[in-house]
Structure formats: structure tokens, C-alpha cells
Structure 1
């Protein structure tokens, strides 16, 4: 498979390292508006060609697939161009900035018969994949209740930098700079963690969003600090289970931690993933009588990068697909509607 990496910012290095380590994959080009940055990136990963636009790369055309690592607001335009040119697309999350574009991307890729996948990175967590397997096998019975959280602390801790002075973080706090806040940034990850983990779609939701005061003026330089810092969601799933999902940037003690708990009529499962690794525990059968949790062993799983390559080779689309990501984007969009209307929203 011949691959072009579109966008050479921070996340592109992960794409280059992962795809470059897969047998049969040749990274043949790197695209960036900044020619010098593209050249530095290409030299770091032994990539033969660089381009300063996707159009220029498509005019050359000697490749099969695109890894789209552009900023979120460019995913729609660039992915649609690649699809129109007959290229398979592996796109960073979120697929688009709103459902209309995400749906259009899914429609176009499916109509063209092209492989389309979204890099929801926490699908690479072996413990989450095992969690899903155990749910599908009925290990905890019919799921009744779900809890999921995504906890970060960069508004409290400077472990990843000082948000007050670093544009890398400041833009995430300002809607005028393209941020949809915590819900738009990491919401798709924790919603996917929950919906994939229990193998059930989200059918209705009630959402609350909050941007807390962070500066006496509510603004630092050109950055108006109005994007949500925290969200909570009350959900119902297609399986009938109820759930609570929440995320925040104020969680002291948690640099970047996702947790999912599911409780069924035969037991419970809990997966946690953070900077220091992952764990999976189950309380079922006789253990449920005494509330005893046991660690569940897991085996390594193929990454999204491997599964995209396999999908291109086989011609069978992989998961998570554009369609799945579009459905998740609909839930995210409706979260803002629910907040504005202060009411429960059915996900149609």
C-alpha cells in the first residue's frame, strides 16, 4: 500500500511511525502548506516526496491511500478531494466539525467503494477490546447501567504546559479559535469508549455543558475563554441500558484517564486506561455475591493502523468507519442542542 500523509504536525509522527512499521506499507509522500516543515518531516521518516498542497499530490497521483492528519476544520474538504480522486482515507478524529459534513463524507466514501476509517485511538487499548468481547459473550448478562468518564487536569496542572501562555492549549478554550470545548475535543473518545464497549448505540441523551471562570476578564489576549471545560450526559442506549458519561479538564490527579464500567444482571466489568497503562477487572458469577473483583488477562490487539492496511488489502471496510464516526458526531452536535434547550433529545 502506497500512503501519503496529509499534514505533518504533532500527530503525523504517530501515523508515520505506525504505518512505517507495517510490512507492505510504503509512505511515498508528505503534504503540508509549510514546505520547510514538510521537508523536515520527510527527512525524519525517509519519505521521498513532499508537496505543499493536496491538489499537488493528487496531480502526481502515485499512491493508494491518504492519512488525513490536518486540523479538524479541514477534514471535510481534504477527505472529499481524496475520495473524489479514488483514494482510501484514514482520517483523524473527529471526522468533521459537524454532522452534515461527516454524513457527506461517509456517503461519498461508501458510494465510491473506498475504504474509510477514523483513528479513534482508544480502540487500540487491548483491555477495551477484551471488555467488548466479554460483553458479547454474555459474561455479565444483560447490561442495565453504564458509567464512563474522561478525566484530564491541564487546567489545574502544568504537567503538559501552561494553558495561560501556550497557544497549543489556549485555542481549546476559545470558540472563536475553532474549539467546541471538552465535548468537541474528547467527547467522541469517551462516547465511543462506552458505545463500543457495550456494543449498543446511543438513542437519547440529556447534556449539560459548562465553561468555568478562568480569568477575571474572561479573556487572555485574543482568546475569549468561552468553550466548555466540562460536560455531563445522561444517556439511554439501544440495548435499553441507562448510562452517565462525563468529562472535564479540572480533574486533579488525572493527567489523561478514561474509565468505563458496565453492570449487568450477571455481573460487572470495569476498564481503566491512562498514562500509566490499562487495567480490566470483572465481578461475576460467585464473585458477585461477595463483591470480589478479579483482574482479567488480555492479549495484544491490532492497532487502527494495522486494521486500515488490512482493510485496503482485503477490500472490506474496517471499523471505526466514517459512518460510525458520523453517527457519533450527531450525538455530539445534539449535546449542544440539549444544553441550549435544557431537554432530553432523541438521537434520530
Structure 2
């Protein structure tokens, strides 16, 4: 498979490294509007061809698939162009900034017959996959309560760099630069973590978001720091469970941690994923009486990159697909509406949200 890398910022290096490690995958081209950045990226990864625009790369055409690692607001136009050119696409999350755009992308993907996938990276976490299997086989009975959190601390510490001076972080804090804040950035991850792990979709939500003061007049250079830094959400799932979902960039002491707890009427499970690794614990069977938790071996699972390549080779669909990501984006859009309207909202099949409780 000949692969084009679209966008050569920080995350693109991870994509390039993972794809290059797969037998039969050749990185043949890279695209970026910054000539110095794309040249350095291509040199580092041994990529022969570079392009200043996607149009130029499509005109060249000597690639089978593309991995789209552009900023969030660029996903929509570039992915549609790639699909129109007959190229398979792995797109970074979120699929788009709004449900309307994400739905358009999902419809285009469905009509194209091409392999399309969204890089919800935490599908690579084996304990999450094992937890889902246990839930679906009834190991914890009927799920009653779900807790999910995504905690980061890059607004507190400089472990990942200095957000006050680096554009790769500043754009994430500015709605004018296409960011929907922590809700849009990692909200899709924790929503997928919770719904996929529990094998159940979100049906109704109530959400609150907040952008904290971070600089004089909340502005640094061209960046107006108005995107939300934290969100909390209560949700009811299609399996009847009640859930609490939250995320923050102010979570001091947590570089990057996802946690999912699922409590059923016969047992409970806990998945924790951090930069140091992943774990799965269960309180099952006779252990329920005395609240004893034991580690569960989750084995290993293929990465999204491996599954995308295999799907392209086999010519079959693969999850998480564009439609799934679009439905998650609908929930995120509703979260912003719930914050504005101060009411619970129902997730409907239609694009327009409907108030369930005013």
C-alpha cells in the first residue's frame, strides 16, 4: 500500500512510525503548507515526494491511501477531496468540528465504497477491548452506573511543552482557530471509551463547560483563549445505565489518563490507561460480596493502523468508521447546546437536537 501523509505536525510522526513498521506499507508522499516542516518530516521518515497542497498531491496521484493528520477544521475539505479522488482515508479525530460536516463526510464515505476510518486511538487499548467483551457476555450483569474521565495537565505543567508559546497548543485554546476546546479535542475519545466499553450508546445528556482565565484579557498574540478547558456531562445510555463523563486540561498530576468504571448488578470493571500503560480490574462472581478487585489479563490487540491497512488490502469496512464518529460528534454538539440552554437534550437520529426536558 502506498501511503500519503497529509499534515506533518507532531501527531504525524506517530502515524508515520506506525505505518512504516507494517510490512508492505510504503510512505510515498507528504503534504504541508509549511515547506520547511514538510521537508524536515520527509527527510526524517525517508519520504521521496513532498507537496505544498493536497491538490498537487492528488494531481500526482501515485498513492493508494492517505492518513489525514491536519488540524480539526481542515479534516472536512481535505477528506472530501481525497474521497473524490478515489483514495482510502484514515482521518484523525474529531472527524469535523460539527455534526453537519461530519455527517456530510460520512455520507460521502458511504457512497464512495472506499475504506474509511477515524483514528480513535484508544481502541488500541487491549483492556478496553476485553472490558467490552466481558460486558457483552454478561459478566457484570445489567450495567447500572458508568464513570468515565479523561484527565490532562498540560495547562499546569510543561511536560509536553510550553503552551503559552507554541502554536501546536495555542490553537487548541482558540475557537477562532477551529477548536471546540477540551470537549472537541478529547471529548470524542472519552465518549467513545465509555460507549464502546459499555457496548451502549448515549441517549440523553446534560453538560457544562468552562474556559478559565489563562492570560491577560485571555489572549496571547493572535490567539483568543476562549475554548473550554473542562467539561462535565451526565448521560443516560441506551442500556439504561446512568453515567458521569468529564475531562479537563487542568487535572494536575495526570499527564494523560483515561479511566472507565462500569458497575453492573452482578459485578464491576475498571479500565485505566495512562502514559505508563493500561490495566483492567474486575470485581466479579463471589468477590462481589466483599468488594474484592482482581487484575484481568487483556492480552494484546492490533492497532488502528494495522487494522486500517488490513481493511484496505481486503477491501472491507472497518471500525471505528466515519458514521460512528459523526454520531459521536452529534453528542458533542448537543453538549454545547445543553450548556447554552441549561437543559437536558436527547440524541436523535435527525441532525437537529430536540429538548427532552426544558
TM-score tier after normalising by the smaller chain length: over 0.9
Aligned counterpart, 2:233: 233
Q: Partner residue of 1:300?
A: 300
> How big is the shift at 1:85?
0.9
Structure 1: distance between partners of 2:30 and 2:276: 32
Q: How far off is 1:112 after superposition? A: 1.0
Give the paired residue count.
348
| Inter-CA distance 222–55: structure 2 relative to 1 (3 Å threshold) | closer
CA deviation vs aligned residue, 1:243-280 (integer Å, no higher than 9, x gap): 00001111111111110000111100000011111111
CA distance in 1, matches of 2:165, 2:85: 41
Contact 2:208-2:339 within 8 A present in 1 as well? yes
TM-score, structure 1 as length reference: 0.97
* 8 Å CA contact retained: 2:97, 2:178: no
Aligned to 2:208: 208
**Cα distance, 1:216 vs structure 2:** 4.9
Query: What RMSD in Å do the two structures reach over aligned CA positions?
Result: 1.3
Structure 1 residues 159-168 or 298-307, which shifts more? 159-168
Range moving further from structure 2, 179-188 or 213-222: 213-222
- Give the Cα–Cα distance (whole angstroms) in 1 for the partners of residues 208 and 329 of structure 2: 17
- 4+ residue runs over 4 A deviation: none
2:319 — aligned with what? 319
Q: Which consecutive residues of structure 2, in runs of 5 or more, have no partner in the other structure?
A: 349-358
Could you give the per-residue CA deviations for residues 150-203 of structure 1, whole angstroms, max 9, x where no partner exists? 111122222223333333323322222322111011100110100110111111
1:47 alignment counterpart: 47
Distance 2:74 2:214 in 1: 29
Match of 2:82 in 1: 82
What residue ranges of structure 1 are gaps of 5+ in the alignment? Answer: none
TM-score by length of 2: 0.94
State the secondary structure of the residue aligned to 1:217. helix
Evaluate the alpha carbon distance shift between residue 24 and residue 221 of structure 1 in structure 2; reply closer, same or farther with a 3 A threshold: closer
Q: Does 1:190 align with 2:195?
A: no
Matches of 2:102 and 2:50, distance apart in 1? 28
Aligned residue for 1:8? 8
Which is worse superposed, 216-225 or 65-74? Answer: 216-225
| Equivalent in the alignment of 1:254 | 254
The 5-angstrom pairing of residues 334-345 of structure 1 reads: 334-345=334-345
Q: CA deviation at 1:285?
A: 0.6
Cα distance in 2 between the residues matched to 1:160 and 1:2:
32
Q: d(CA) in 2 for partners of 1:6 and 1:292?
A: 48
Give the aligned partner of residue 18 of structure 2: 18
1:36 CA displacement = 3.1
Q: CA deviation at 1:52?
A: 1.6
Question: d(CA) in 2 for partners of 1:95 and 1:216?
Answer: 33
Q: Which deviates more, 332-341 or 247-256?
A: 247-256
